[in-house]
Amino acid sequence: MKDYQIIWRGPVLDATGYGTASREYILALDRLGFDVKIEGYSWGYPFKGMNKNMKRRLRQLIDKPYAANKRSVLIIHSPAGSIRPKKDRKKHDFMIINTVWETTKLPNQWVPIMNDFDAVCVPCTQNIEAMKNSGIRIPMFLVPHGSEPNKYKPDNKKFRLKEAKGKFVFLSIFDFQHRKNPEALLKAYWEEFSCEDNVILVMKTYGDRSGRQRKKINELKKKLGIGSKAAPLYLIHEIIDETKLKGLYTLGNAFVLPSRGEGVGLPYIEALSSGIPVIATGWGGQMDFLNKRNAFLVKYKLRHPGISMNNKNALAPLYRESFDEKGQLWAEADMKDLKKQMRYAYNNPAICKRKGRQGRKDMLELSWEKAGAALKQAIEKVVH
């Protein structure tokens, strides 16, 4: 029995990338025999359809009392900007931040906050480089994410969508924000394909209670002057349950997201686990597991985020306060190559299937058990 308790502060009940990772990290540590207590918080996107056993165990760890006779290790799973570690330092013996970033340099505000911790855990090699470039002085540990191949798998029942019947389905799942590059995705799709192609783009986002996303997308479509010849788009902008989400992946023939930067890119992992290939920008945290055998990689150039933020075609929330500082760079997908890769995938369904099979095989090598083991090593090095 360890002589310390791990206090995990994270969005464990949320339907976000942080939420998924929080759940899996915690349960991996729990299976390894650690004394784990959850301090949960939420960003307002509750996870629907959670496995009953998982929900029961998480609730037990949330309700679990703090250990009175043990040292405490606080792990905060969160972006660093909203954290005030000096207050927590008075209560805990050790503090670790588990976070992620998507450009070549952290926001200036993050650096002194993170340097108040005993260590930082990140899920990709790019983040290690970004933190070194930003002046992070505390120990850094690479703790990759795992996959969920028993949940996301090729034989999951497909999402029922009559509009997609008999068509080649491009699938994209993302949080509607500028970093994800929705304008490049839509522009490439609508300029490369028309209603004469046997194709559809199914786009799943969330957080559109006001209808703003649909309005901005329609405005872009009008600017492009496509009109009635446009290839079809099916937009899902609400939170859906896990069964439907799994079925979305198996509905797709190829997953496409020309993101400007990713810390991990969980939808890429979920797509590959489901046996469909990925069309992705060839730079970012996803490059720890994407390659030419399981993906169609899009050429790119590193650019300052302010350049795309000032483009009149920018569709989604910008978050300038985080991504528009001097020295920050992220990847701008080459539009010509993005169109080329999408057309190539469309014209070669057999290659898509082959890459999808390889992706499934590759994702079987990722696991949350391995992630838990890496996190275990990081914790023990900090404590001892």
Q: Which residues pair with 296 in a beta bridge?
A: 279
Average pLDDT of span 83-87: 88
- The secondary structure of 300-364 as a DSSP string is EEEE-HHHHHTSTT--S---HHHH-STT--EEEEPHHHHHHHHHHHHH-HHHHHHHHHHHHHHHT
Mean pLDDT (the chain) is: 95
Exposed/middle/buried for residue 220 (C-beta within 10 Å: 0-12, 13-18, 19+)? middle
Residue 2: band (very low, low, confident or very high) from pLDDT cuts 50, 70, 90: confident
Q: Do residues 72 and 13 touch, judged by C-beta distance below 8 A?
A: no
Rounded Cα–Cα distance for residues 366 and 372 (Å): 11
Average pLDDT of span 211-240: 89
Query: b/e string for 261-291 if b means 16 or more Cβ within 10 A?
Result: bbbbbbbbbbbbbbbbbbbbbbbbbbbbbbe
- Name the DSSP class of 29: H
Q: Which residues pair with 142 in a beta bridge?
A: 122
The alpha carbon dihedral of 219, 223, 229, 232 has a sign of negative
| Residue appearing with tokens 């009109």 | 227
Provide, rounded to the nearest whole percent, the portion of the chain with pLDDT above 90: 86
CA-closest candidate to residue 273, choices 287, 252, 297, 296: 252
Rounded Cα–Cα distance for residues 28 and 7 (Å): 14
- pTM summary value: 0.93
Q: Residue 1: its pLDDT value, please?
A: 58
Q: Do residues 238 and 219 touch, judged by C-beta distance below 8 A?
A: no
Average pLDDT of span 372-382: 97
Q: Which residues pair with 7 in a beta bridge?
A: 37, 74
Q: Do residues 156 and 249 touch, judged by C-beta distance below 8 A?
A: yes
Q: Which two tokens stand for residue 181?
A: 């590059």
N-terminal to C-terminal alpha carbon distance within the chain: 15
Ranges assigned E (strand) in the chain: 4-10, 36-40, 71-77, 94-98, 119-122, 140-142, 168-173, 199-204, 233-236, 254-257, 278-281, 295-298, 300-303, 330-333
Provide, rounded to the nearest whole percent, the portion of the chain with pLDDT above 70: 99
Q: Do residues 261 and 333 touch, judged by C-beta distance below 8 A?
A: no
Quick check: 207 pLDDT over 70?
A: no
Phi then psi for residue 37, to 5 deg, are: -125, 130
- CB count in 10 Å sphere of residue 198: 11
pLDDT per position as a tens digit, 326-355? 999 999 999 999 999 999 999 999 999 999
